[in-house]
């Protein structure tokens, strides 16, 4: 059984990790251990580079906390121009897989708050009245009327980040 360390305690992100590992390795073939680690970047990462750095830093921190694990998974959401997206970084002792999620265009009222130094999650909590929105469907869930969610979009990107771990061509 694989020991998977999720470098997050966010239930929406953990669920996405679970779904991706179910799809690739099978249910019951792993256990996920959430750990609360620092991203090393801003609370609201801005730009592709800072967001990817946050995902990689989370993995690095998780590896230090749980060096005995088989996999470490970092998910970092960020803002680039007028879009929200996330980077997925997955490592085992010898391979790294990464992917960037789909992007969602944000309305100007949300972007104004972000430019003012606030996090997307805080802005979404203000407009929805739900303080837990970022731990649930997120902005994606709100703006797609539940057709998509943070979990569903991150699940897809995590599947892509797992490709190097089960396709031999990446290991040549």
98 is in an annotated binding site: no
48 is in an annotated binding site: no
151 is in an annotated binding site: no
**Structure tokens of 83?**
């879009």
**Structure tokens of 107?**
């309305």
12 is in an annotated binding site: yes
Phi, psi of 44 (to 5 degrees): -120, 90
8 Å CB contact between 33 and 4: yes
8 is in an annotated binding site: yes
Kindly report the CA angle at 80 between 9 and 35, in degrees rounded to 5?
A: 15
13 is in an annotated binding site: yes
Instruction: Give binding residues for Mg(2+) as ranges.
Output: 68
| Binding site, annotated residues | 8-13, 68-69
Binding residues for substrate are 8-13, 68-69
């Amino acid at each position: 059984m694989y020991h998977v360390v999720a470098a997050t305690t966010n239930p929406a992100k953990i669920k996405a990790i679970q779904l991706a590992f179910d799809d690739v390795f099978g249910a019951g073939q792993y256990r996920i251990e959430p750990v609360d680690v620092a991203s090393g970047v801003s609370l609201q990462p801005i730009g592709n580079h800072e967001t990817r750095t946050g995902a990689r830093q989370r993995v690095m921190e998780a590896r230090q906390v749980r060096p005995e694990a088989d996999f470490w998974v970092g998910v970092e959401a960020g803002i680039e121009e007028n879009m929200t997206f996330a980077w997925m970084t997955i490592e085992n002792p010898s391979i790294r897989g990464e992917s960037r999620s789909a992007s969602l265009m944000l309305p100007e009222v949300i972007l104004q708050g972000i430019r003012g130094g606030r996090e997307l999650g805080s802005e979404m909590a203000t407009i929805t009245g739900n303080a837990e929105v970022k731990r649930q469907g997120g902005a994606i869930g709100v703006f797609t009327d539940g057709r998509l969610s943070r979990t569903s979009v991150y699940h897809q990107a995590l599947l892509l980040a797992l490709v190097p771990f089960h396709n031999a061509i990446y290991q040549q």
